[in-house]
Amino acid sequence: MELMIEQLERKYGEKTAVANVSLTLHQGIYGLLGANGAGKTTLMRMLCGILKPTSGRITFDHMDVNSEEYRARLGYLPQDFGYYPEFSGQDFLMYLAALKGLYKKTAQRKVKELLELVSLTEVSKKKIKTYSGGMKQRLGIAQALLNEPEIIVLDEPTAGLDPKERVRFRNLIEDLGKESIVLLSTHIVSDIEHIADYVLLMKDGRLIYNGSMDKIGKDLEEFYLEQFGEEKDNV
């Protein structure tokens, strides 16, 4: 299991959003940290095949990012995930499972399993418009797992979650990292500190640090401040 990113670059006119990023990801949880505008979301959208790089290459076990085989192994929760408020949580997942090409019986089994996993079974038949922010985020994580992905990309997944929800989320992600490549983007340092095996730091479109949590050898917040030289909130 190997996700390779080679000399990836994305420009918007004269502005470079992602600059010459190269890294290789294996099984485990990767925490991608950086201030707003650092290039995190642009990088993730390229990894998901939504945005075409200006130059560079992305492959997973030699499969190109634009191939059907790659997409079949990918689960993605974008920062602003679109829900259908009149759908129930269960119907919404069944609808997305059909779009992903799952057979009905397989989809029913998987949806039931995922609703239990994200603790939404009791409200599965209620309309999504009645869900709290945390419940919607958990539903978003469930949809990302419908196709049993080997690559899971989560963009700011803890935004708007209360402390209890965040702990529940961390436990869920820890389990996923045992069998998949999980890339988790956030600007909340403590989320990364609790669950990540590896830390990636982005600044001005560049990858300025790539290493294991063990290598840091100090408080991640302190390390972050040293690298960025700026005051940090949302810890």
Taking the C-alpha atoms of 138, 144, 145 and 148 in order, what is their torsion angle to the nearest 10 degrees? -170
User: Torsions phi, psi of 153, nearest 5?
Assistant: -115, 120
Question: Is residue 110 a contact partner of residue 116, using CB atoms and an 8 Å limit?
Answer: no
**Digit-coded pLDDT (tens) for 87-132:** 999 999 999 998 888 889 989 999 999 999 888 999 999 999 999 8
| Cα gap 53→9, rounded to integer Å | 6
Q: Is the pLDDT of residue 162 over 80?
A: no
Q: Is 133 helix (H, G, I), strand (E, B) or coil?
A: helix
| Cα gap 191→81, rounded to integer Å | 20
- Percent of the chain at pLDDT > 90 equals 37
| Cα gap 50→70, rounded to integer Å | 13
Which pLDDT belongs to residue 218? Answer: 67
pTM, two decimals, is 0.85
Strand 15-25 with 3-12, pairing: antiparallel
Helix axes 133-144, 163-176, angle to 10 degrees: 10
| Domains located in the chain, CATH noted | 1-73+151-235 (3.40.50.300), 82-148 (no CATH)
* Beta bridge mates, 76: 153
